[in-house]
Every structure is written in C-alpha cells, then in structure tokens.
Amino acid sequence: MTDISPILAGKMEWELETSPYPLPHKLASGEVIMESFRRYRDAIALLDWENYCVIEKIETLKPRTGAATSLITFLKTLALKHRFRIFGNPIPYKPTCLLAAASPLSQTDLQSWYSKNGFLVGNGNDGGIYLWFPNKPESQSASGRQ
C-alpha cells in the first residue's frame, strides 16, 4: 500500500463528504469560467489543495445561520485529523453565489469571524492579511505562503 500525503488524504475526505457545486464567474476580460465550488451542508467553498488547503472562497447559501461556520469547522477537523495546514487571505469579495450576496461581511467582521473560529489572523511581510490553521509555519515568504 502506498502512503498518501496529508494534503491528499484531506482532499479525498473533503470530496467524499461534499458535493460539486460549480458556479459561473465572469472575469474582468468578460470571459465566463466555471469555478469548482463544493457544497458542505448549506455553505460552499472553493479550495486549492496544493501544499496547503488554501481557502479561495467560502460562501453561505443561508446567511446568518451558521452554515459557513459548520463548513469551516469540518475543514478544521480534517486539518487536525490528516495533519495539514489551512491558509487563506481573508479579504471580502463580491460573492459568486447569488444566495450569498445578500449578507456580505466587512473586512473587520471577516477577520473577527476567522479568529473566533480558531484561525491565526495577522499581517504578512508584504502588509497583506493572512490566516492559518492550526498554526503558521516558522518561515514564510512575504505573501504568507511558504
């Protein structure tokens, strides 16, 4: 049997417990692409599973119901179980999903939400705001990634 990396094990379990939820996204050029969100209960996430689990976007399908918190709690459980890091850049954006657009968070509220949910939130060497779970690597580049 071949051992798989922690990040791959986490991604595999994420995909088993979620369902595809592709959404169209219009680029600045006008081109429309499909973003590969996945649904966990009443929230969706667009994640990049390369060296870390990178949170690209998280959106709720039922604002102010705890749906996004449920999703992030599940993701943290996977990170602890499979021993990988979660990384992100908590910056508000116009939601891709129309259901999520009804209740966007401000920059301050978004950072507070991640902190309240156990993430380390702070400034990178480049002045950007980054988040880590369960901890931040000892060495990191200006962008916040190793």
Tokens of 9: 């094990």
Q: Which residues of 12-25 are buried (b: 16+ CB within 10 A; e: fewer)?
A: eebeeebeebebee
The answer to whether the bond into 20 is cis (omega within 30° of 0) is no
Q: Is the pLDDT of residue 111 over 70?
A: yes
Give the number of residues written for the chain. Answer: 146
Classify strands 53-60 and 129-133 as parallel, antiparallel or unpaired.
Answer: unpaired
* Other CB atoms within 10 A of residue 118 CB: 11
Tokens of 12: 């595999």
Q: Which CATH architecture best describes the domain 6-133?
A: 3-Layer(aba) Sandwich (3.40)
Give pTM, 2 decimals.
0.88
Q: Using CA atoms, how far apart are residues 39 and 100, in angstroms rounded to an integer?
A: 13
For 62-93, write each residue's pLDDT tens digit. 888 999 999 999 999 999 999 999 999 998 88
Q: If you average pLDDT over every residue of the chain, what do you get?
A: 90
From 78, 84, 88, 79, select the one nearest 124 (Cα to Cα).
Answer: 88
119-124 average pLDDT score: 92
